[in-house]
Structure 1
Amino acid sequence: MSQSEIDTLIQLLSRLPGFGPRSARRATLHLISRRETLLTPLAAAMQAAADTVKVCEECGNLDVTEPCAICRDAEREATMLCVVEDVSDLWALERSAAFRGRYHVLGGTLSALDGIGPDELNIESLIRRVTEGRVSEVILALNATVDGQTTAHYLSDRLSEFDVQVTKLAHGVPVGGELDYLDDGTLSAALKSRRSIS
């Protein structure tokens, strides 16, 4: 491996989330020092993923089949549609095993600063799914950020003309959380979302 190939690998790794130039250099050295057990299998797995992974045209999930396994699963509740910002949010909800409906991946959030408007997101396909399908509830599982909440309000307005219930995730104190360690926004949301104990 020449120095230019090493530099290219470092530059590519430094583009990954959570990696900077230093961590990319450390990862590159680790991969090269374990060429047979790590670098070669990783390169093969990445090539296989590049060749086979597709974006589901129905929901936006990633899978090797079209439509994805979630969309094909007849056991899932087709009347419930959970809207998420990106695939990582879908995977997080799936790990929890708390939701057994279908998903819709927006591909981001509305952001005036970044120039992301409704046309850059998968909003029209969401509207199509609501009008064509048997959807009775749309759950807006968007992050509690300014852009996430702006997107939630926009979607709520767009969906108000349809006979569909629009809900959002509750925000507040996490299970096992201690009040002293929570930020002001989380505490405020928890107080506003309080409910009776009985």
Structure 2
Amino acid sequence: MASQEIERLTGALARLPGLGPRSARRAVLWLVKRRDSALPQLVEALAEVGERLVECSTCGNVDTTDPCGICADAKRDSRSLCVVEDVADLWALDRARLFTGRYHVLGGKLSALDGVGPEDLNIASLMQRVGQGGIDEIVLAMNATLEGQTTAHYIAERLEGKPVRITQLAHGLPVGGELDYLDEGTLAQALRARRPMA
């Protein structure tokens, strides 16, 4: 039987996405075996992230600066805006280095079952960004789920009549799939084949 402290650490790690109790136990054992080298680095990195991480007031990305590195990058195309559900989706798309514009994180998706309405998402700030002008294209990069597509259609309706071209990722994405779990080849194809919203 492990000590109370080890069980508490295992429980904390098990709550992370992608880690269950067994994976968390393996991670704890690995850390215990390397407690002189790996554990202090992990503790230091967690403390630093906890102190410095902020949400970008422009796009909703998570970074150590506000505005984030993407919003502050003058080389980015400010006329093209990619709307995503979550920060993980932004990171997945940006990791592929195929989209050179800027992003907007909604902070979730519309879901009647979960009680998430338009007022719970960063849709008002998206409309404000579009209203300021200078944006020619909105890429709706929602996950290929029912809620994701509902969110995309809601935003497309809200943008109707605005002087922007609305596109969405091609449907080469697997239904029910999430951007964060896709490989860069699939993301590349989806971005290249984006098309206007119907």
User: Residue 134 of structure 2: SS of its match in structure 1?
Assistant: coil
Distance in 1 (alpha carbons) for counterparts of 2:13 and 2:108? 23
Deviating 4+ runs (over 2 angstroms): none
In the other structure, the counterpart of 2:73 is: 73
Root mean square deviation, CA, Å: 1.8
Larger radius of gyration: 1
Counterpart residue identity of residue 3, structure 2: Q
Q: Deviation of residue 173 (structure 1)?
A: 7.5
Counterpart residue identity of residue 143, structure 1: N
Deviations 1:37-83 (A, max 9, x none): 21111011010001111110100111111101111111111111000
| 1:113-152 paired onto structure 2 within 5 Å | 113-152=113-152
Q: Does 1:22 align with 2:19?
A: no
Distance in 2 (alpha carbons) for counterparts of 1:14 and 1:161? 47
| 1:6-21 paired onto structure 2 within 5 Å | 6-21=6-21
The alpha-carbon distance between structure 1 residues 63 and 145, as it changes in their structure 2 partners (threshold 3 A), is same
Give the alignment's TM-score, normalised by structure 2: 0.84
Q: Deviation of residue 133 (structure 1)?
A: 3.3
In the other structure, the counterpart of 1:92 is: 92
In the other structure, the counterpart of 2:102 is: 102
In the other structure, the counterpart of 2:184 is: none
Give the alignment's TM-score, normalised by structure 1: 0.84
Deviations 1:122-175 (A, max 9, x none): 11110100001311111001111111100000000011131111110112279x
Counterpart residue identity of residue 32, structure 1: V
In the other structure, the counterpart of 1:181 is: none
Q: Deviation of residue 88 (structure 1)?
A: 1.3
In the other structure, the counterpart of 2:62 is: 62
Distance in 2 (alpha carbons) for counterparts of 1:173 and 1:7? 39
Counterpart residue identity of residue 108, structure 1: G
User: Residue 144 of structure 2: SS of its match in structure 1?
Assistant: coil
Counterpart residue identity of residue 134, structure 1: G
Question: With CA pairs under 8 Å and 6+ residues apart, which has the higher RCO, 1 or 2?
Answer: 2
Distance in 2 (alpha carbons) for counterparts of 1:172 and 1:81? 21
The alpha-carbon distance between structure 1 residues 135 and 4, as it changes in their structure 2 partners (threshold 3 A), is same
How many residue pairs get aligned? The number is 175
Distance in 2 (alpha carbons) for counterparts of 1:156 and 1:101? 19
User: Residue 24 of structure 2: SS of its match in structure 1?
Assistant: helix
User: Residue 103 of structure 1: SS of its match in structure 2?
Assistant: strand
Q: Does 1:38 align with 2:58?
A: no
In the other structure, the counterpart of 2:177 is: none
Q: Does 1:111 align with 2:111?
A: yes
Instruction: Single out whichever of 157-166 and 147-156 deviates more from structure 2.
Output: 157-166
In the other structure, the counterpart of 1:155 is: 155
Counterpart residue identity of residue 122, structure 2: N
Task: For structure 2, list consecutive stretches of 5 or more residues without a partner in the other structure.
Answer: 175-189, 194-198
